[in-house]
Amino acid sequence: MLPLFYGVIWEFEGCGVIGLSLYRRILCVMKWLRWLLLLFATACLLIACNTGRPSDDSSDRTALESPTAPPAVSQDEAQTNSSITQLLADLPPAQPDGSSFPITVENCDRTLTFEQPPQRVIGLWQPSNELLLSLGVEERIIGLAGNYTDLPPTLKSAAEDIPVLGSELRWPSREVMLVQEADLVVSEGLDGLAFDPAEGYATVADLEAAGTPVISTGSSCNPTESANRGVTAVYEDLQLLAEVFGMSDRGAALVERLQQREQAVTEKVEALPPVRTIFYNGGEGPLSVLTAGVWGDLIQKAGGESVFDDSTFQVGREAFASSDAEVILMGVYPGQDPDGLASFLQETFPTLPAVQNERLYPIETIETEASIRIIDGLETMARAIHPDAFPDAFPDAF
C-alpha cells in the first residue's frame, strides 16, 4: 500500500503539489498557515491604526506603558517546560572530545567525514533545531529557520542570540544560505520545501558543492523510511549529532533519560486493552489523519490502536463517522483553535463514542514530531487514551 500512500495525487487548498510525502505535506500545510497568520496580523494592525485614538491621551499612554500579565500557561505546557528542564539538567558538559576526530558517519546512504566538530551550523526545521539546542551547541549555530511555534523556555533562552535566517514565512534564499559558509546544515529530509530550487532555495547539491555537508534527521531520507520510522528515530538522531559534535557522552545521557521516560509510560499501559484511536489532523472533508511513522508508533506505545491503517492519510466523512473511535487526538498547529476543531467534530459526528464520552483531546503537533519533545507527546497521548493509568494528571478534553 506504500505506493498509494506516497504516490497519491494530492492538492491542499490550492497548494498544487503532486505526489507529496507526509513530511512535505506537513510543510505545505505550515506554509499556508503562516500566510494566514500574517494576513490576520496585518488585519489586526490595520484595525488598530484606524481606531482614531488621540496621540495626547495620557490614559491611553499609561495603558500602553503598563506592564501586562504573562499569558496563562496550560497544564500541558507547564508539564512540557518542566520535563525539558529536567531532561537537560546535570548532563555531561557540552564540550567536544577532540581526540575522536576525524570521524566518519553514514546518513541517507551517504558517507560524511568531519575533520573537527562543526563550528558554523544552520538548522532548518524546528524538530532538528531543538535536537541541536538540547545538545548545547548553540554557540556553534549561526542561524535557525523553520521554527513554526515557540521553543520551550529552556531552549528559547539558549537560542535568543542566534540569528533567524529567512523570514517567518520562508526559508533562507539560496544566496543567503551559500554566503553563510556553514560547515553543517541540519534539516529533516533532503528534498523538502527548504531545498526546493523553484522557491529560490539552495539544493542539497548546491550546499555540498560549496563544501557544506547536510544531515537529515527524523529518518526522512526517503518515503519508505519516513513511513516506518518510530520514536527510535529521535534516539538515533541524538546519537548521530552527538557523535558529529564530539559529545557522545552527552548524547548517550539524553537518550537514556528519554528511554527511561518512554519505558515508564509503556509499562503503565502495556497490559491494558488497546483503545480505538484517531489522530485527527484537520480538514472537514476529507479529514486528515496521522497513522504512519512516529504518529503510528506513538499511538501504539500509548496503548491505542489506530482506527485506520498506516497507508491512510485522508478519509471521507462517512468513513470517519463509521470508525467507532473511542478517543480522538486533535493535532493543533499554531493559530488553530482547539475549540473550533472540537466543535466541528461534535457537530459532524455526534454518534461517535469519542464525542459522546467527551474524549476529544488537543495535542500540540510539535510534541508528536521527531524532536526532543516526543516523549512529552507520548505521555499526553497515554493519559488521553488510558486516563485511569495516570490518575495524577488528566489532559484537557472536550
pLDDT at 393: 67
CB-based contacts of 365: which residues, under 8 Å, 6+ apart?
Answer: 281, 331, 332, 333
Q: Can you tell me the distance from the alpha carbon of 265 to that of 302, in angstroms, rounded to the nearest whole number? A: 7
Given a cut of 50, the residues of the chain with pLDDT beneath it are: 1-27, 29-74
Are both 97-258 and 273-389 of the same fold? yes
Pick 273-389's CATH classification: 3.40.50.1980, 3.30.410.40, 1.20.1250.20, 3.40.50.1370: 3.40.50.1980
Amino acid at residue number 107: N
pLDDT at 122: 98
Burial label for 303, CB within 10 Å (0-12, 13-18, 19+), is buried
Q: In what order do the strands lie in the sheet with 121-123?
A: 141-144, 121-123, 184-187, 214-216
pLDDT at 269: 97
User: Span 97-258: which CATH code?
Assistant: 3.40.50.1980
Spans of all domains in the chain:
1-46, 97-258, 273-389
Residue pair 275/326 in contact (Cβ under 8 Å)? The answer is: yes
